Amino acid sequence: MSDRWIEETFHADWRVSLRASKVLHEVKTEHQHLVIFDNPTWGKVLMLDGVTQLTTKDEHVYHEMMAHVPLMALDKPRNVLVVGGGDGGVMREVLKHSCVERAVLVEIDREVIDTALEYYPEIPGGAFDDPRSQVIITDGLKYMAETDQRFDCIIVDSSEPIGPSAVLHTKEFFTDCRRALLKGGILVTQNGLAQLFPDHLAGTTRVFASLFKRAAPYICHQPCYFGGLFALNLATDDKMLLSNDAKTLAKRARKRGVDGLKYWTPSVHIGSFALPAWLESVVEAAIEAGRAGDDRGYAAPPAPKPAKPKTGPAVAKTSAKARKAAPAKAKK
């Protein structure tokens, strides 16, 4: 049997396909299409609704930068909330901080957690068994609107703004996040490929600037997210949190027992906020607009319509009876 090529369908004008030497799991859950497969270069790959979410080759980049940048900026974070991130990678990194007393994961799709534990348990590690962790299966938007809990740090580990994750990129959601933060707390979310989709970063930055005293996008290099620099975004009311020097950050890492990382370092932490000129101009304009009252969030464009199947003599027709008897094909 020849290998299957699985295509990313998120991008309207270009495509990336990954070779699946073996499809390990594929299912249409209540919320999304999920597929896990082996790739000779990337290791195990998770795709949701046609978008690569992680690979075992480079997942450490995203998870370390999502967790350690906000947590190292805080003097002693004790209560942390992760919205999304059912693969457990961010929770794994959060729980490396000995000062964290409670880490809550809110995930809409139990299937994401179960498949992580079955097919790539090295990503969550022991995060879900840690006595400090709590898993809540519910809609993140609903949880944030109703919770009376307060957190030092909220990390929104969402997928792209399509499907069930679209609501996690709205002003309504971020407003509820702000309410759930303790004084001087930090909110972090992901903003996708900065150069290809600057409107995504600009929209979130406008909202952050309208809600918080400081909006501070930062970047990392995530190889499996094809298309250049990957953007994350940080918001806080404590303007001094990002003034820590490398010595202070290194001391915090040692004191908390955070070691053995593959990407985050104190220098990388500080340098991640240094943006290229073109991106800096996008961010500055968005901050100015947000402070002036323009709090428009990002609305993803509609997904492209699938191409119509070819017809004509070159395409063999199959009778209704034969179609009924044929085995069902896996959804792409």
Query: Tell me, what DSSP letter sits at residue 166?
Result: G
Q: Residue 171 contacts by C-beta under 8 Å, 6 or more apart in sequence?
A: 207, 210, 211, 295, 297
Beta-bridge mates of residue 136: 106
Q: How many CB atoms lie within 10 A of CB 11?
A: 17
Q: Does domain 4-55 have CATH number 2.30.140.10?
A: yes
Distances (CA, A) of 114 to 75, 107, 119, 129, 237: 34, 11, 9, 13, 36
Q: How many CB atoms lie within 10 A of CB 150?
A: 14
Q: Does domain 59-291 have CATH number 3.40.50.150?
A: yes
pLDDT confidence of residue 247: 97
pLDDT confidence of residue 322: 38
Closest CA to 233 of 210, 216, 250: 216
Rounded CA separation 147/140 (Å): 10
pLDDT confidence of residue 311: 41
Q: What is the pLDDT along the chain (332 residues), one digit of tens a residue?
A: 568 999 998 888 888 999 999 999 998 988 889 999 999 999 999 998 888 999 999 999 999 999 999 999 999 999 999 999 999 999 999 999 999 999 999 999 898 899 999 999 999 999 999 999 999 999 999 999 999 999 999 999 986 666 666 777 889 999 999 999 999 999 999 999 999 989 999 999 999 999 999 999 999 999 999 888 999 999 999 999 999 999 999 999 999 999 999 999 999 999 999 999 999 999 999 999 999 999 988 866 555 454 444 444 333 333 333 333 333 333 33
Residue ranges per domain, the chain?
4-55, 59-291
Question: Hey, what are 22's tokens?
Answer: 């073996």
Would the pTM count as exceeding 0.75? yes
The identity of residue 144, as a single letter, is M
pLDDT confidence of residue 313: 39
Rounded CA separation 208/217 (Å): 10
Question: Hey, what are 152's tokens?
Answer: 């030092």
Rounded CA separation 182/184 (Å): 6
| 157 annotated active-site | yes
Active-site entry in 152, 157, 176, 295: 157
Closest CA to 172 of 211, 205, 137, 212: 211
Q: How many CB atoms lie within 10 A of CB 19?
A: 16
